[in-house]
Amino acid sequence: MNAPQKNAGSSSSKTFFLLAIIAGLGLSAALVNIGAPSGSVPSTTSDLAKAQRLQKVGSVTLKTVQKDRPLATGEEVYKAQCAACHAAGISGAPIFGNADAWGPRLGQGFEALVQSVLHGKGAMSAQSGGQFTDFEISRAVAYVANAGGGKFVDPQAPAAEEK
């Protein structure tokens, strides 16, 4: 009878010990939770104010970059959006700088080429609607066409487009 009692006693005191630890952890967690906000209300408030000020500065900066970013050159647009196909002639794309491939196409005129590119032609999907404006795409058309023997003028942004 002694042995089982001892066992029961020790196991229940173990349980109590565990409960005490759990309760202690819970209590100290609760204390930390309560303590943090009440102990640092002023600094939390000023941190919040700082964060809000920073956020304002950040979002203004972001808008400024998007709105007033410099106009991309034809070469920049070409490298970012056109070279993937035109550098190596993917899907039958006329290869950059290859006058034989470009010659027959240039005769249709700059506007027609721009329309092909903006709205798509054959295996070339419409190039309008991405990260560049249609105007910037037209500069890329001049860039590729001229590299292939064309004599087009690099389009300059009309005043209205620059605003």
Contact 126, 120 (CB under 8 A): yes
**Residue 55 amino acid letter:** Q
State in angstroms the smallest separation of the CB of 99 from ligand HEC.
Answer: 14
Cβ within 8 Å of residue 86, ≥6 positions away = 78, 93, 94, 95, 96, 144
Tokens representing 54 are 């920073």
H/E run at residue 154 = none
Check binding of 84 to ligand HEC (CB under 6 A): yes
Check binding of 123 to ligand HEC (CB under 6 A): yes
Check binding of 95 to ligand HEC (CB under 6 A): no
Check binding of 141 to ligand HEC (CB under 6 A): yes
Q: Which of 125, 126, 134, 156 binds ligand HEC (CB under 6 A)?
A: 125
Q: Which residues bind ligand HEC (CB under 6 A)?
A: 77, 81-82, 84-86, 90-94, 105, 113, 116-117, 121-125, 127, 137, 140-141, 144-145
